[in-house]
Every structure is written in structure tokens, then in C-alpha cells.
Chains A and B, each alone.
Chain A
């Protein structure tokens, strides 16, 4: 067991005894990843914040049932993914899931760890925004399950087994979903990645 996982196990054990400070540490550790994952699923900062809160609250309520059969973050991802997938499904049913152009054009926060430190030139910035918008549109067209698989694999670098545990399905299903998700995205974004 890796050091990070051992730390998680100790913190989880404290949480199971009702230690909220231990849970606070776990939240601090995973809030960034969780928020980013949910944001990429739903493309809305405020909703991503709320869903991340709901997900952590659910995790706290059910942490007593966590038996350590998987890594904590896999278990946490499963809760978060369920929250996000439910939200996407509800929005698709109510017809509110259309792409919001303002959100797509929103500038990535300066100083964010994922953004290069140097300020991009105006045309580069426009280009990045345009690319982001195109990716958002393509991802919007995927089913919630395909979105989840491609994001966990490509953005978080998770293994098939971890994704399968997080989504509660077989590794075969994960590979199959990944195949079709990639195929759809390739069809939508080929002109971009071939010209960069």
C-alpha cells in the first residue's frame, strides 16, 4: 500500500469515529480533483461547486460503510460520478443541458495550476478559447457514461480497473465505452488535433 493510501486509510478510520477534522483533511486533499472532474462533466462553475459539496456530504454520511476494499479516492470518485451523472441525466431530461456559450468562452483563471504562467498572446488566447469551446461542444454530445470514462482516463489518468470500480461496471465495459467515446470525439475534433 502506498503512503498516500495509508494516510487515507488512517484518516478514514478517524472519520468513522466521527472525527470531522480528519474528514476536512480528506476534503482538502481531493477537492481540487473532484471539482475539476465535475466541472468537466457539467461545464458550470456554480453547479460544480454545489455538486462537489453534495458529493462530499454524501461521502461523510456513508463513510461508516466504507470497508477499505478499494482505495478511498476510487470510492470517493464513485460517489462524485454518480452525483454528476445524475445531474447530467436530469438536465438532459428537462432540456437544460444545452451548451452555454458564455461558460465555454469563460477565461481560465490566471494563476491556476493548470495554466501556463506566461500570459498568452491575444491570438493564442482566442485560439485556446475556441479550442476549449469546441471540446466542450463535443463532450456535451457524449452520454454521461462516456463522458465519465473519457475524463477519468484522459484527464485523471486512471486505470481501467479504477474506472470500473468508480463506475460500478466491468473493465470490459470501461474499455468498450472508451472505444466509442474516443471514436466520437475523434470525429468531432479531428480538424483541431491534426492542425495543432
Chain B
């Protein structure tokens, strides 16, 4: 259903025909100055066409030239959008997380922990640097278990147990008897079987 305004506009523009035109003109006859309004609308259209023309586009060729330059600039700029200089936010977040993880891993792997931290731990491993032997293949390591109140001397590379070590060995056996589970034999897969001492099962062997 068309409104009066729609039908009036169609009537002014000569788009009403047949029964629709008859019906509208019958309706319009009840309205004062209907025909005059139509005449006014037609004259208004003529006035606009005669007096409201826009000036011609000056420098029309330059208009095209400038436009084509802008299009070329936009087209040239397009790949830069596809590969921006800065990484997108998710990439930056991932990169940051990986960097932090690497720094943390390096810190814990490389930076030595202080003595306070060792003393607070349950086990304490130390390498003995001065063994008073000319053979570099002989190594000595002490392992201290705080829970068991036990310090173990680990000697490796010896062909025989020195006579002066017998006392340590006997003392160790006495200590081991006080601590159940420490009298086990050393691990069978040890590359070189320790010559001078026994090995407590709870304490990992260095270098194995």
C-alpha cells in the first residue's frame, strides 16, 4: 500500500497510469491546490536544471593522473601490510615467553647455587680437588647425606685400597650398621667399581 507522498511523487513524475492514476486524481480533487503543487514541482525541476549546473571539472586529465598515482601508491603499499615490520601480538608473546624460559634455564644450569642453599638441601656433593696423587684418572668425591647424618668418600681409579684408608672403611661400616639400607652393595653398572668404599643406595653416584 503506497502512501499519499509516494503516489503524489509518482503523479508529478508521470509514473501513475490506468486505474491508479484515476483513483489518485479523484483523491487529489479533494485537496486544495493539488494541481498547482504539481505545476510548482515541475517548474522547480526546470529551475534546477537551468540554474543549478555544477562547474565543469577543471584539469580533468590531471584528475586522472593524480588518481592513478594514488592507486599506484596504495598498490605498492599493499605488500607492506602483508609483511608488517613489527611482529603481531601473539608472536611477541610467544617470543617473550621462550626468551624468559631460556634465561631461566641458563640461570639454573650455569649459575652455581650458594652454600646456604646447599646446606639447606638434603644431600651435598663435593669434588675433592687435592688428592695428592700423580695419576689424573684417580678421582675422589665426598657425598654428605643430611638425613642419614653420613658422609661418604668415593674414590675411583684406585688399583688397591691404600693402607691408611682401612680406618675410614671400618668407620664407615660402623656408621652403615646404624643406618639401615646403607649396607647395600654398589650399583652393578658402575663403569669402574669403587675400590675403597661401599656405596649407599639412596645417594646417587657422581659421574654414573
Contacts and interface: CB of A to CB of B under 8 A. Distances in A.
Interface of A: 20, 23-24, 27-28, 31-32, 35-37, 39-40, 45, 48-49, 52-53, 56-57, 60-61, 106, 108-109, 111-115, 128, 131-132, 135, 139, 150, 153-155, 160, 172, 175-176, 178-180, 182, 185-186, 189-190, 192-194, 196
A193 B52 contact: no
B6 A179 contact: yes
A109 B41 contact: no
Interface in B47-68: 47-49, 51-58, 60, 63-64, 66-68
Mostly, the A contact residues are helix
Contacts of B166: none
Contacts of B45: 154
Contact of A40 (B6, B52, B60, B71): B52
A186 B67 contact: no
Contact of B71 (A23, A28, A37, A179): A23
Contact of B60 (A20, A31, A131): A31
Given A57-B70, A179-B6, A182-B12, A193 B46 contact: yes
Contacts of B5: 175-176, 179-180
B10 interface: yes
B44 interface: yes
Contacts of B57: 31-32, 35-36, 49, 52
Nearest to A135: B52
Interface string B1-32: 01101101110110100000000000000000
Contacts of B67: 27, 53, 56-57
Pairs A-B, 9 closest by C-beta atoms: A114-B53, A36-B54, A112-B56, A179-B5, A39-B54, A175-B6, A175-B9, A193-B43, A35-B57
Contacts of A132: 51-52
Interface size class of B (residues with CB under 8 A): 35 or more
A172 B63 contact: no
Contacts of A23: 71
Contacts of A52: 57, 63
B37 interface: yes
B40 interface: yes
